[in-house]
Amino acid sequence: MIFLENEHLIAGFNAKGAELQKLQHKTTRLDYLWKGDPAYWGKFSPVLFPIVGGLKNDSYIFEDKTYSLSRHGFARDKEFEVSHPTDNELIFTLRDTPETLAIYPFEFELILHYKLEGAELTCTYVVNNPGKKELLFSLGGHPAFAVPFTTGTSYEDNYLLFDRDDDLYFNKIDQNLISDEHGILSLKDRKLPLNHDLFKDDALVFKSLKSEKIKLANTENNHGLEFQFSQFPFFGIWAAPGADFVCLEPWCGIADGIHHNQQLKDKEGIQSLSPEVRWERSWHVSLF
């Protein structure tokens, strides 16, 4: 594991998938990230690229040719190049290879830039297009935070506090795809109490979330975190059945709808990047 450390935080990373795998507050000694127990879900904070969610029939069509990609794409399983420009920064880089071009016919450079500032970790995604044609992609985060993160508390003692939403309107999932069904969760004081039944039918997917900040906190003490994601139009909240975590997932892109024509250029939320152009988005998590 590769570490970043300052006076407030310790963060650990793996070059495989450029994945954040540890996030600890040094003063409280609280670990805020899920432990990656494979009995439930063996990931910690995977990057979703070049798609977010599932594809209809696990495939897409580009320039009259059909390609196959598994859910959330391949970046989370690839080894990234690592550089360490300063004591509080790490940069991970992934580029196209003959292997990726066979399933995703685009030249690309994907960069994850992690930085510690005070009690805050920033994750910045950068995509560069070194090719000669438009680069089509989706990209998202999938960080899993421990629930509970303090001893003596239960999963149900924790809640999510939204900064702008009084009710949550979400899209339901049907076999990894976005269905035509919708749901609503009414909030009291903008709080969503956590319980495992929230995710019995898969993730809660939001296309019209007003909030740009969500706090994960509990009713028993003053510890928690604030997650900021203003640059992402889609958002997911998920936990594996019975597992002690919650994922807060900012997305530029979304799973296929059940009626999608499978054309990549028509995919909802698809990002289009011109040659030699840089694309950049960031999320931030602050611990308290």
Q: What is the mean pLDDT of residues 106-114?
A: 98
- pLDDT above 90 covers a percentage of the chain that reads 99
Q: What is the mean pLDDT of residues 22-36?
A: 96
Q: What is the mean pLDDT of residues 74-88?
A: 96
- Cα–Cα nearest to 164, from 131, 128, 126, 212: 212
pLDDT digits (tens, 9 = 90+) for 133-143: 999 999 999 99
d(CA 273, CA 166): 35
pLDDT digits (tens, 9 = 90+) for 167-196: 999 999 999 999 999 999 999 999 999 999
C-alpha distances (whole Å) from 71 to each of 53, 77, 178 are 5, 12, 13
pLDDT digits (tens, 9 = 90+) for 222-272: 999 999 999 999 999 999 999 999 999 999 999 999 999 999 999 999 999
d(CA 216, CA 202): 20
Furthest-apart CA atoms within the chain: distance in Å: 57
Q: Token digits for 85?
A: 């420009």
Predicted pLDDT at 126: 98
Taking phi over 0 as left and psi of -120 to 50 as alpha, with beta for the rest, 231 belongs to alpha
- CATH for 2-287 is 2.70.98.10
pLDDT digits (tens, 9 = 90+) for 90-108: 999 999 999 999 999 999 9
Predicted pLDDT at 222: 93
Q: What is the mean pLDDT of residues 24-47?
A: 97
Give the pLDDT band of residue 114 (cuts 50, 70, 90). very high
Give CB contacts under 8 A, 24+ apart, made by 152-157. Answer: 152/220, 153/218, 153/220, 153/221, 155/194, 155/195, 155/196, 155/244, 156/193, 156/194, 156/195, 157/218, 157/219, 157/220
pLDDT digits (tens, 9 = 90+) for 206-224: 999 999 999 999 999 999 9
Predicted pLDDT at 51: 98
C-alpha distances (whole Å) from 27 to each of 23, 24, 44 are 13, 9, 23
